[in-house]
Amino acid sequence: MKIRKNRGGRKSVRGFIGQFTNRENLSLAGGVILAPVVVGQIMKSVTLPTIGSAQVSAAVYNLLIPGIGALVTSRFSPGLAKGMVIGGLAQAIRGFLPASLKPAGSMGAYIAPQRMGNFSGNASVPAAFNAWAK
């Protein structure tokens, strides 16, 4: 996606929004979104042979299925084909990330109250900060 600089004196919102509504850019984004959806549907509906470990097998299929889809669609929509390859590559990489780096299922893990120390009653703000800073 090329981001064009407005070289005129007047700022154009239409030019900025036009970058995101460009047909090629929308096709690319559609391919990125479509790749993991199609891979998930195929892996649920068809029993595929295991290649090495389950993690390696999932990575291979996350690359192979969108790659075949990109070969089929590249003649009709090059942007969609590029997006499918990017989406498959992102899903394959995501499969190798440790569980601690994957996003949590809900925001509860981030906003859950944390215990800050052993102090009783209503503690003042400096006491709470000092307990947290230890």
Q: What is the value of pTM for the model shown?
A: 0.60
Rounded CA separation 70/65 (Å): 9
Predicted local distance difference test score (pLDDT) of residue 57? 86
Instruction: Tell me if 14 is assigned to some domain.
Output: no
Instruction: Tell me if 64 is assigned to some domain.
Output: yes
Domain with 67, as residue range(s), is 34-97
Closest CA to 34 of 5, 6, 60, 72: 72
How large is the C-alpha radius of gyration of the chain? 24
Instruction: Tell me if 40 is assigned to some domain.
Output: yes
Rounded CA separation 65/36 (Å): 9
Res. 93 pLDDT band, cuts 50 70 90:
confident
Instruction: Tell me if 22 is assigned to some domain.
Output: no
Instruction: Tell me if 65 is assigned to some domain.
Output: yes
Instruction: Tell me if 45 is assigned to some domain.
Output: yes
Share of the chain above pLDDT 90, in %: 16
Q: Are 43 and 51 in contact (CB under 8 A)?
A: no
Rounded CA separation 83/19 (Å): 16
Per the structure, the count of domains in the chain is 1
Instruction: Tell me if 67 is assigned to some domain.
Output: yes
Rounded CA separation 18/9 (Å): 18
pLDDT digits (tens, 9 = 90+) for 49-76: 888 888 888 888 889 999 999 999 989 8
Instruction: Tell me if 104 is assigned to some domain.
Output: no
Return the structure tokens found at 113.
């109250």
61 contact partners, CB below 8 Å, separation of at least 6: 39, 42, 43, 48
Rounded CA separation 30/86 (Å): 11
